[in-house]
Structure 1
């Protein structure tokens, strides 16, 4: 039918809730290909800390937007939006169902809603001036400026993320409009026929799973993975702001003990999970499934029935 929206399955939920395992079962059942909706799994060599799916775990299901950037490269929401929408079109053309799986709320939201981003002019004079200011006076100077003109954006952008700090200031100076206001004014119209599924579980159980996952990551060699990036000279980049990396960098810089770094990693992961749940509940019309404890396999059947009904 002309103008009919493309169907897209979206599986979201907080870290450690069990999205990976379920996504494979859904993909096998409904002939789907998976697009990563995680802003950090795009980076090569950052496998353990981002809980990146392994080749074995994929069970032959094609995965997209994993290992497409070096850790020294930046990555924007606008770039993610473009790449994912291209993948959705390509997967549909093969007669398969695209499924986005992840926990980065803004990134996923930018794809499925009619988000428009302010044009990023590569030769913008304002951008050039801001870059020169960063070189001369340092990123702290620009970040303080952003805090004054757009405190809301400053809260959501890490001060070491020079590209995003400059971008927010560029939009403000070019348009007179705060970047945070620009984001708020985005359309709330879904551009796909989205089957939006969310996994949740009892908070205490989730936090226990997060703590266990961190211990498992450490046993699997997370410290060695981070040391590898550190010794390659990867510093002050967007990738190293990821949870699991910034905490261990603090240890490698001898700012904290290893035990303190691991405890901070657990705490930051728990806080992130809480923020993820808040975002999804406030920003998107999610159909939630509680997968606490023994309910997990019971929920599989319910989820499959729900998806089957929506794919008709």
Structure 2
């Protein structure tokens, strides 16, 4: 019998954290963060990291275990989730994954094999040299020719993912997209996928409000701390919530403009999250508004009671 895993997905600021805690309390669960940024120590405000108070005593996994100058990959996440699910289930508890990083969650549930093509430092240096000589756009155009689907998912300036996608193609003869499509759609778990969605204008209001609250909580000081540590080029600082303020600290952009960019990027990210989950995963969706939260949560708990063994 497969291990049941409850998975809560949806756009940023919709209420996933609160729901995951309610489910954990109702069904003797423990929570695994499915967010690729809450892994970093000290990056609390910009990642909307779950606070001790919000956790309500429920154990949380995969939070605060990496330094901000360290990199992190989907394959590493996949491995850590597997270990966390095992640890939680061995305690007789229900594993609950809560988060919004679509590729990470899909990889953890459906067992993409990343290990077959391990990273090759020599190859990486070769591509980085190409980028240096020809420019990022020329190398990105090559990816668009060989794997247009993957190119859509990779920002031209994200050299780490750009290099990886080309490395997989050059070394295996298969694109990363083909590699993913070959993977088993069958999960080794029994995932119960719950999605929270909100009417777009209301969600965007919540996102804007959340950014204002982050600023009040001291987001600028948090970003400045990592900026002064010289982490501008690290993977962690390329995330939404941090990258928008680097031009401000370099004297190239006003604080107001940086805040507006953060709001805009957060709204766009929410839209991309919804597109990903609607297209890639078989989710039971629940529409929620701040004023209907309690009723919707009760409906979800009631529906889950009929599914969880």
Same fold (TM over 0.5): yes
- Residues 8-64 of structure 1: CA distance to partner in whole angstroms, max 9, x if unpaired? 111111100011112111111111110000011111111101100111211111100
Q: Quick check: 153-162 or 182-191, which moved more? A: 153-162
Residue 272 of structure 2: aligned partner: 275
Residue 233 of structure 1: aligned partner: 230
Determine the C-alpha separation between the residues in 1 that align with 2:42 and 2:173.
40
Q: State the aligned residue count.
A: 306
Determine the C-alpha separation between the residues in 2 that align with 1:297 and 1:137.
51
Residue pair 2:40, 2:67 contacting (<8 A) in 1 also: yes
1:97 to 83, 94, 98: 94
Determine the C-alpha separation between the residues in 1 that align with 2:224 and 2:264.
21
Residue 173 of structure 1: aligned partner: 170
Structure 1: runs of 5+ lacking an equivalent: none
1:41 is paired with a residue of what secondary structure? Answer: coil
1:134 correspondence with 2:131 = no
Counting only pairs closer than 5 Å after superposition, residues 54-133 of structure 1 correspond to structure 2 as 54-117=51-114, 119-121=116-118, 124=120, 127-133=121-127
Deviation at 1:155, TM superposition (A): 3.2
Deviation at 1:133, TM superposition (A): 4.7
Q: Quick check: 145-154 or 232-241, which moved more? A: 145-154
**Structure 1 residues 166, 26: CA separation in 2 closer, same or farther (over 3 Å shift)?**
same
1:41 correspondence with 2:35 = no
**Structure 1 residues 136, 11: CA separation in 2 closer, same or farther (over 3 Å shift)?**
closer
Determine the C-alpha separation between the residues in 2 that align with 1:306 and 1:208.
29
Structure 2: runs of 5+ lacking an equivalent: none
What is the root-mean-square deviation in Å for CA atoms of aligned residues?
A: 1.8
Determine the C-alpha separation between the residues in 2 that align with 1:194 and 1:149.
33
1:311 is paired with a residue of what secondary structure? Answer: coil
- TM value normalised by structure 1: 0.92
**Structure 1 residues 128, 177: CA separation in 2 closer, same or farther (over 3 Å shift)?**
same
Counting only pairs closer than 5 Å after superposition, residues 145-294 of structure 1 correspond to structure 2 as 145-294=142-291
